[in-house]
A and B are shown apart, each in its own frame.
Chain A
Amino acid sequence: MPDPQSPAPRRTPLDAVHHDLGATMTDFAGWLMPLRYGSETAEHKAVRTAAGLFDLSHMGELVVTGDGAPAALDYALVGQASAIAPGRARYTMICAPDGGVIDDLIVYRLADTDYLVVANASNAATVAAALAERVAGRGAAVADRTADYALIAIQGPRSAGILARVTSTDLDQVRYYASYPATVAGSGALLARTGYTGEDGFEVFADPRDAVRVWQALTEAGAGDGLVPAGLAARDSLRLEAGMPLYGNELGRDVTPFDAGLGRVVKLDKPGDFVGRAALAERASADPQRELVGLIGQTRRVLRHGYQVLWDGEPCGVVTSGVPSPTLGRPIAMAYLTPKAAAQARSAGNGQGRLAVDVRGSAEPAALVPLPFYRRPAGN
């Protein structure tokens, strides 16, 4: 049921396409987005074995420009934006002064003094405001350009072959986490080799007026290769198999990058101060308060967000995300455990027989496994 208090959700430039495809739509972070077109499990498997096409136009695109942009972003983010080579991209985070995660981001350095920061839809306005405040007086300006970009992702082992049919860019030259100005289906676009599925793939930042043409051209180019449109449900199960965190589940204001096992994104050795430095430096050397782990359910009951994790029947953590894994055929989950429980589980047969998840009153046995649950085969 729609909440009468909330404004009508925003629609992406591909809204009519989703409607024509018979998509089940969902309100996500204030946007009306395709949840699935048919079976989300089939969409997931298509991305693992062939390719899938995603509308990600809800993602926030924030442009940071000015001579001071590299140094200003070094101050605003936990990563070192000034060390990114033009044409390359990095995964990073923006943290609060106390070290809590405001959002996780991909930062593309388009040119020496020109950055594109891609934020989660739910956080775009917050990140834009925090960036504007942090770069003020540092020779840089922030503009929220979300409405000026359609974002279409093609992901899966056949994505390069399909995309090559609609662009003259030599895709072999586009390395992982690189971006190039390109022509896709006759339209100017920014082409990046990035994604959130654990597969090879590309993201196309296009003018909203070109979005339908780019989508249709890719659909036709992939028709013989098993390309299918894929919705947010498949995106969630794909990223979870790949062990990638989701803001609001594994990441949040009460979580530091170190809690999430992503301390590597915090560049404590970069020169100068940055927001959150003192708190994160302390956190880096302190004993962890919790540990993000992978769980595999030993029954078919789905382990879901918010369910308690039990050690010998006593609470020892909480599930942050869980799905039935289409690739493994078993329920998988990420969970925060107490460091003691995680260590006990590792030293006692991965916790088998003692580790469980409270599934609505029933203790369903689970085993601890290293993340990620899935790695793409070499050569894909």
Chain B
Amino acid sequence: MSVPEELYYTAEHEWVAISDATARVGITDFAQRALGDVVYVTAPAQGTRVTAGEPCGEVESTKSVSDIYCPADGEVTEINPEIDDDPGLVNSDPYGAGWLFKIKLDGGDQLPPGLLSPAEYTALTAEQQ
């Protein structure tokens, strides 16, 4: 299972890449493996105000549906235009082409509170396996 060193994580299995006061968000390799083939993603619409820890979308796989929890406070500035046509990108490239949406962070360049380091997230998933 892959847990890239340059990302932050949530306990609900989202990953976050932060640069220029913007967070790019997706679901982790652990999450996509647990879900199985992703068939549909509901991401928050562009312009939506989102709150850390609140559900803000859904990932549907063949066998289940899971909430996406927002990792930080802010405003959605972009959703991945490729995901609607090819939700399987979440499985094939969860940290790359399978990203879901971007948030302009309320906290600017400050690291949003409550995120997990790669080591913390790895420990969390080891418990859940």
Contacts and interface: CB of A to CB of B under 8 A. Distances in A.
Interface of A: 1, 24, 35-36, 39-41, 233, 237, 300-302, 304, 323-324, 360
Contacts of A302: 39-40, 60, 62, 65
18 contacts: A1-B128, A24-B33, A24-B36, A35-B36, A35-B63, A36-B36, A39-B36, A39-B37, A39-B91, A40-B37, A40-B62, A40-B63, A41-B62, A233-B62, A300-B40, A304-B65, A324-B39, A324-B40
Interface string B73-116: 00000000000000000010000000000000000000000000
A304 B62 CA distance: 10
A233 B37 CA distance: 10
Contact residues of A: prevailing secondary structure: mixed
A221 B63 CA distance: 31
Give 10 nearest A-B pairs by CB, closest first: A324-B39, A41-B37, A300-B40, A302-B60, A39-B37, A40-B36, A40-B37, A323-B62, A40-B62, A324-B62
Which of A1, A36, A302 gathers most chain B CB within 10 Å? Answer: A302
Interface residues of B, number: 12
A233 B36 contact: yes
Interface string B25-64: 0000000011011011000000000000000000010110
Contacts of B39: 300, 302, 324
A302 B128 CA distance: 27
B60 A301 contact: yes
A233 B35 CA distance: 11
Interface of B: 33-34, 36-37, 39-40, 60, 62-63, 65, 91, 128
B92 to A, nearest CB: 9
A213 B33 CA distance: 29
Contacts of A323: 62
B127 to A, nearest CB: 10
Contacts of B60: 301-302
B12 to A, nearest CB: 15
Contacts of A300: 39-40
Nearest to B128: A1
Contacts of B62: 40-41, 233, 237, 302, 323-324
Contact of B40 (A39, A233, A301): A301
Nearest to B37: A41
B79 to A, nearest CB: 16
A360 B57 CA distance: 12
A214 B62 CA distance: 30
Contacts of B63: 35, 40, 233
Nearest to B42: A301
Nearest to A236: B63
A233 B33 CA distance: 13
